[in-house]
Amino acid sequence: MSYQSNYVRGSWNCICESCGRIVKSGELRKRWDGFMVDERCWEPRQPQDFVRGVADYQAPPFTRPESANVFVLFHFTPTLTTDLIQTVNTLTKTYYRSVYTKAVNGSPINYNTIG
C-alpha cells in the first residue's frame, strides 16, 4: 500500500520513527520515549514505570545500651597443690549453687548432682 501525497496547507511529509510510514506532520504525535510516531504506533507509557518503592525501616523502636561487665577480683595464695585444687572446687561449687537456683519442672535443682 503506497501513500498518496496530497497538499495540506502548513503541513509537510514526515516518516514515522517506529514503522517507517510516510505521514503528514499534523498526524504525528510525540511518544513517551521521544519518538515522533503516527496514531497507529502511538502508545501511552506503562503505569508501572511510575511505581516507587516504600522505605523499610528495620531499626527497633527503642534500644538500651549494653550493661558493663562486672568482675569479682579475689586473691589467694595456696601453700600446696592440694590446697589449690580444694579452693578451686569450693569456689566452683559455691558459684554454681548461687547461679543455678532456678526451678526446673517446678522443683529446685538437686545440689547432689552439682557436686
pTM of model > 0.75: no
Report phi then psi at 73, rounded to 5.
Answer: -100, 135
* Cell output for 101: 537456683
Give the pLDDT confidence of 60-113 residue by residue, as tens digits. 888 888 888 887 777 666 555 566 666 667 766 665 555 455 545 555 555 554
Residue-wise pLDDT tens digits, 3-21: 667 888 889 999 999 999 9
Q: Where are the domains of the chain?
A: 13-43, 81-114
Q: Which amino acid, 78?
A: P
The pLDDT of residue 83: 64
Closest CA to 42 of 57, 60, 62, 21: 21
Could you read off the pLDDT of 20-52 as tens digits, one per residue?
A: 999 999 999 999 999 999 999 999 999 999 999
Report the percent of the chain where pLDDT is more than 70.
Answer: 62
